[in-house]
Every structure is written in C-alpha cells, then in structure tokens.
C-alpha cells in the first residue's frame, strides 16, 4: 500500500503549479498536440483553438520517500475564430487533477484561463481544461437586446446628366457606399456610451428577440473609434444610378436615388448606467437579408407624384413594413414610413433644398470643396470634368466614360455631421424584459431614436475602390441627312451646361455631377 507524506506539501510547492514544476523535480514533456472546442453562449458560433502539452510532474511520495509522478496538462497558444477572423489570445490553463498527489496538497487541481473577448471587451471567454480537451464559455456583463429603427439611409447616389441608355454611374468596384453613424444622442447625458461590435464586421440576423445564426451577404460594418460605426454596402451591377429624364434639361436631382434600409435592428448591451452599441443587424421577420430600396428623390418630395401604391408599388409596398405590425410602438406610431419619415429621408440629399445648387455651387463651381464641405472636387481618369455635347447631324453623340477616384478628406470635411430623429419599435418578446426596462431608463426621450451621420471615415485616395461613369449627350434629330440644324439645338441660348464637374459626397462616399457655369 502506498501512503503519502505531508512532507511533500512542505517542499515550498504550495504557491503555484509553476513552482511545483520548478522545485519538485525534473519535468518530462511527453506530448504536444492541438485541439479546439466550440464556445458556448457565443452568438458568433466561435471556436477556441489551443495547444495542449502533457508533462510528467512529481505528485507526492511514498513512506519510503519515493517520488510519485503523474500528468500535468498545460493549455497555451489560444486563438479565437469567429465570423471568419482569427484572434490570438493570451492565457494559460492547467489540469493537475489526474496527478497522484499529497492528500494535504491545497493548491489548485484545475486552473482555467479567463481571456478578454477580442470582439466585445465587456465579455470574457473562459476555458476550463479537461484531459487533452476542455470547455469554453462566453460570458458578458450586462444584458443584450435590440431596437428596430424604421429605416437607415445608407447612401445617396446622384444622377448623371441625360436619359441615354449609355448614361449611368455605378459603384460595383467600391466598398465606400454606406455611412458612418453614431447613436450617442439617443441616450441621456448620464448614460455612458461606447461601441463594441459583438458580431465583428458581419451584420447579424435577428428574429423574435434572438440571434438566428445567419449574417447578411451584402453589407459589412467596422468601427474606428468609441462612438461610431461605419456601414459599407456591397453594390450590385443592377443598382446602377441612371441619368435624368430629359436630354435638353439634364440638371434634375429628382432622379438622384436615396438608398433606404427598411429592416435594420440596432443592438445594445446595457449594464448599470452604461450602453454599449454592438452595431447593426437586420430583422429576418421581414426577409432573409438586408431590405434596401433605392427611392428617387422625386418620389420622396412629391415632384414625381404622390407616394402611393397606385403610383409606385415597387417602393410603397416595402415602405409599409407590414412584417413589423406585431412589434411594440410608441403611442400613435405605426410600422409604415409616414410623410414625416419620407421628408426626413429626402433631406439626406442636399439637393432636396431647391436652392442648394445656387447657394453652394453657383455659376462658378467652388474648388476644392463646397462651402458646407459636403462635396469635394475629385477626378476621373480623364480629368475633373466630363463633356455633355450634342451629336453632329446624322451621327450619335459621343459617350464619355471614366473611372471615378476618391481623394482624401480635408480637415473641414472630416467634421461634417447630420443629425436626425425618428420613432422606433421593439420586438414584442422584449415586453417586460430586464433589457427593455434598462433601455427605457437609459434613453433621453422615450420612443425617439436619434442618429448622427458623419463624414465617411473610410474615404481615401485609392485606385482600388472606385466607381465608373458613362455619359452620352443629346441627339441631333436633324431633318435633312447630314445637314443641320439639330432639332432642337441644345444650348442654343447658352443656358444649358455642356460640361459637368465631378465631386465626391464626403458623407456617403458617392459621386455628384455639378454643371459648370450653370446655377
């Protein structure tokens, strides 16, 4: 029979497992291998990877003072994989439970590794070891939930001149279409506000107050500071912005397109008097994906007619947001976009104010930026302007094409902001929840959601992130073959532009086309 002597505990090995290894005799490394384990309670379905080293260490001694050895499992080289990104972690876990040891030993048998979640600093990942394996759990301080703003304006794209099928602008090669937003103004001054993207750069899906495990395929989000989130939209070729409606009146911003996201959720972790914005998600109760609709300015401001189902069912139907009818709203509020919402959405396009061109561009376009710093003069591969010339008799107008390029923002442009407020709803399953009670205490005004859109922080002078432009001038329509005059003669009185300067929208990362010597 083997017995243990209490003298083993007196070998100054009681402080840590490291001291046990250093003092109590030689350690032999038997094996080293890699392993991984799913992280429980993790909305990102993350996986924790590690290296486990099996060593032989002294555990005790017999009455004859023969040292007994056993296995020590040491876990190191942790890395966390979530949403396709790998994050190295710093930590060490040990397992001595299966090592025969002195009964009087009062040190730890199992020592877990507690590591800060690299995605959300208010959370920790705890790895508890077992024999060459273990378990990992994600735990966060505070309670997470979300609200449903009616909409988020993710971009304004500006119509190039004229209605030719060869006239359009697209952003297929660009990652800049989107916005940089803060929601700090939603909360009371006594609430501490911060940003931490729980779901990394992906935009997660929610339904019935829970994460569904799916993500959007057309959008990403990042954060560069403690208060803003930059959302970028992947623009498909079918989302080109085409030109205006009349060759002979080519300046018409009613054809600008405002891109409206209709099923956003805004995710928050609340703890005490602090609110952490975890970025945007989308509500899958509506559809599987981000529900983004491009609405021409002329339908929002009424210039094209009333915003009704009879006139524009392709815009009116999604704007009713009927899928949100069972959510909680403030008194008198409804799921559908109201006339107030439509006017607010229209205001994101500066040209919704009829005098904007006169006030900020004028007859002599400013360089390098408009006085409000919303637009900065930029260039394409052929210069900083494009021609809009009428065709010669019995010929087609030339097609001007170029690759649109971004320029760095000036200090003044970096400071531009636009603040707006709207109503919102809350998923019915949050009724009476601890999260919703905290939310009501933290916000500044009940049922009012306030956002501040800032300059697009991702705009840089780049050759890889660009848009493309194609413009064709008016036809001639001459009565006699190869003989003028054209019918009508474009710009015969000198009051229609034949040249357009190219500006970048510093707020949404898109391009605007301003007529030269026109306003």
pLDDT tens column, 258-296: 999 999 999 999 988 899 999 999 999 999 999 999 999
Q: Is the bond into 368 cis (omega within 30 degrees of 0)?
A: yes
Same-domain pairing of 266 and 164: yes
Same-domain pairing of 135 and 212: no
pLDDT of residue 68: 76
297 in any annotated domain: yes
179 in helix, strand or coil?
Answer: strand
- Report the domain count for the chain: 2
What's the chain's average pLDDT?
86
Same-domain pairing of 79 and 209: no
pLDDT band at 205 (very low <50, low <70, confident <90, very high): very high
pLDDT band at 397 (very low <50, low <70, confident <90, very high): very high
487 in any annotated domain: no
pLDDT of residue 239: 67
pLDDT of residue 11: 31
Strand 274-283 versus strand 202-207 pairing type: parallel
User: What are the residues whose beta carbons fall under 8 Å from the beta carbon of 252, sequence distance 6 or more?
Assistant: 159, 244, 245, 246
CB atoms within 10 A of CB 363: 10
User: What are the residues whose beta carbons fall under 8 Å from the beta carbon of 83, sequence distance 6 or more?
Assistant: 44, 199, 200, 201, 202, 215
Using CA atoms, how far apart are residues 485 and 393, in angstroms rounded to an integer? 7
pLDDT at residue 22 above 50? no
Using CA atoms, how far apart are residues 423 and 445, in angstroms rounded to an integer? 10
Determine what percent of the chain is predicted with pLDDT higher than 90. 59
pLDDT band at 30 (very low <50, low <70, confident <90, very high): low
pLDDT band at 476 (very low <50, low <70, confident <90, very high): very high
Using CA atoms, how far apart are residues 89 and 105, in angstroms rounded to an integer? 31
Same-domain pairing of 132 and 153: no
Q: Which has the closest alpha carbon to 201: 506, 407, 458?
A: 458
pLDDT of residue 197: 86
Same-domain pairing of 197 and 93: no
Q: Please answer whether residues 256 and 511 qualify as being in contact, where contact means their C-beta atoms are separated by less than 8 angstroms.
A: no
pLDDT at residue 457 above 90? no
- 82-106 burial, b if ≥16 CB within 10 A, otherwise e? beeeebebebbbbbbbebebbeebe
Q: Which range (65-74, 83-92, 359-368) has the least confidence?
A: 65-74
pTM of the predicted model, to two decimals? 0.78
* Pairwise pLDDT comparison (464 vs 233), residue with the higher score: 233
pLDDT at residue 108 above 80? no
Tens of pLDDT, residue by residue over 78-88, are 999 987 889 99
End-to-end CA distance of the chain: 103
261 in helix, strand or coil?
Answer: strand
How distant, in Å, are the alpha carbons of 27, 167, 336 from that of 254?
Answer: 78, 16, 23
pLDDT at residue 10 above 50? no
Q: Please answer whether residues 315 and 323 qualify as being in contact, where contact means their C-beta atoms are separated by less than 8 angstroms.
A: no
Strand 28-40 versus strand 134-140 pairing type: parallel
358 in helix, strand or coil?
Answer: helix
396 in any annotated domain: no
Tens of pLDDT, residue by residue over 116-157, are 888 766 688 999 998 668 899 988 778 899 999 999 999 999
Which domain, by its residues, includes 267? Answer: 149-364+411-455
* Pairwise pLDDT comparison (63 vs 294), residue with the higher score: 294
pLDDT of residue 104: 55
User: In degrees rounded to 5, what are phi and psi of residue 10?
Assistant: -90, 10
Using CA atoms, how far apart are residues 6 and 82, in angstroms rounded to an integer? 47
Q: Which two tokens stand for residue 294?
A: 């491009």
463 in any annotated domain: no
pLDDT band at 463 (very low <50, low <70, confident <90, very high): low
Same-domain pairing of 91 and 159: no
Q: Which has the closest alpha carbon to 187: 152, 227, 148?
A: 227
231 in any annotated domain: yes
Using CA atoms, how far apart are residues 64 and 93, in angstroms rounded to an integer? 33
Q: Please answer whether residues 377 and 384 qualify as being in contact, where contact means their C-beta atoms are separated by less than 8 angstroms.
A: yes
Same-domain pairing of 302 and 229: yes
Same-domain pairing of 258 and 204: yes
Same-domain pairing of 111 and 256: no
Interval 167-176 mean pLDDT: 77
Using CA atoms, how far apart are residues 478 and 422, in angstroms rounded to an integer? 53
371 in any annotated domain: no
Q: Which two tokens stand for residue 474?
A: 């008016």
Same-domain pairing of 211 and 360: yes
Same-domain pairing of 288 and 332: yes
Q: Please answer whether residues 496 and 474 qualify as being in contact, where contact means their C-beta atoms are separated by less than 8 angstroms.
A: no
pLDDT band at 454 (very low <50, low <70, confident <90, very high): very high
Q: Which two tokens stand for residue 283?
A: 């509500």
305 in helix, strand or coil?
Answer: coil
* Pairwise pLDDT comparison (234 vs 264), residue with the higher score: 264
Q: Which range (60-69, 360-369, 431-440, 483-492) has the least confidence?
A: 60-69
Q: Please answer whether residues 510 and 171 qualify as being in contact, where contact means their C-beta atoms are separated by less than 8 angstroms.
A: yes
Using CA atoms, how far apart are residues 345 and 292, in angstroms rounded to an integer? 13
Same-domain pairing of 29 and 71: yes
pLDDT of residue 4: 31
Last residue of a domain, one of 122, 140, 158: 140
pLDDT at residue 9 above 60? no
């Amino acid at each position: 029979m083997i017995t243990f002597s209490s003298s083993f505990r007196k070998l100054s090995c009681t402080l840590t497992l490291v001291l046990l290894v250093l003092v109590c005799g030689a350690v032999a490394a038997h094996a080293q291998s890699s392993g991984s384990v799913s992280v429980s309670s993790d909305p990102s379905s993350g996986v924790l990877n590690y290296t486990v080293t099996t060593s032989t260490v002294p555990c005790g001694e017999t009455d004859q003072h023969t040292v007994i050895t056993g296995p020590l499992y040491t876990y190191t080289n942790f890395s966390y994989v979530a949403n396709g990104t790998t994050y190295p972690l710093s930590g060490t876990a040990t397992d001595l439970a299966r090592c025969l040891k002195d009964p009087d030993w009062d040190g730890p048998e199992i020592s877990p590794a507690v590591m800060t979640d690299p995605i959300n600093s208010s959370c920790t990942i705890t790895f508890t070891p077992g024999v060459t394996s273990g378990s990992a759990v994600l735990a966060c301080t505070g309670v997470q939930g979300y609200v449903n703003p009616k909409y988020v304006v993710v971009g304004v794209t500006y119509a190039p001149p004229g209605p030719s099928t060869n006239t359009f602008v697209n952003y297929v090669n660009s990652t800049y279409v989107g916005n940089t937003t803060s929601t700090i103004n939603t909360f009371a001054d006594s609430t501490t506000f911060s940003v931490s993207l729980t779901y990394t750069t992906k935009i997660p899906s929610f339904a019935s107050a829970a994460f569904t495990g799916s993500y959007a395929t057309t959008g990403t989000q990042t954060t560069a500071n403690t208060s803003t989130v930059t959302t970028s939209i992947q623009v498909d070729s079918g989302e080109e912005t085409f030109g205006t409606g009349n060759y002979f009146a080519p300046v018409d911003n009613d054809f600008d397109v405002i891109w409206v996201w209709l099923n956003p959720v805004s995710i928050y972790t609340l703890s005490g008097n602090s609110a952490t914005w975890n970025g945007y998600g989308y509500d899958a109760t509506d559809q599987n994906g981000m529900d983004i609709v491009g609405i021409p300015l002329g339908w929002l401001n009424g210039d094209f007619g009333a915003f009704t189902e009879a006139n524009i069912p392709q815009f009116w139907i999604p704007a009713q947001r009927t899928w949100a009818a069972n959510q909680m709203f403030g008194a008198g509020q409804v799921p559908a976009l109201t006339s107030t919402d439509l006017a607010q959405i229209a205001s994101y396009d500066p040209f919704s104010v009829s005098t904007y061109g006169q006030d900020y561009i004028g007859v002599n376009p400013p360089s390098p930026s408009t006085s409000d710093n919303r637009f900065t003069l930029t260039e394409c591969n052929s210069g900083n302007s494009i021609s809009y010339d009428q065709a010669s008799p019995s010929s087609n107008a030339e097609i001007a094409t170029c690759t649109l390029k971004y320029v760095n923002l000036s200090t003044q442009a970096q400071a531009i902001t636009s603040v707006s407020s709207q109503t919102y709803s809350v998923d019915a399953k949050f009724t009476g929840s601890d999260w919703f009670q905290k939310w009501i205490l933290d916000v500044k005004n009940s049922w009012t959601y306030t956002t501040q859109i800032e300059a697009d922080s991702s705009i840089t002078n780049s050759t890889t992130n660009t848009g493309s432009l194609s413009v064709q001038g008016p036809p001639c329509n001459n009565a006699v073959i190869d003989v003028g005059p054209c019918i009508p003669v474009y710009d015969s009185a000198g009051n229609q532009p034949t040249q357009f300067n190219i500006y970048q929208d510093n707020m949404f990362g898109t391009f605007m086309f301003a007529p030269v010597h026109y306003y």
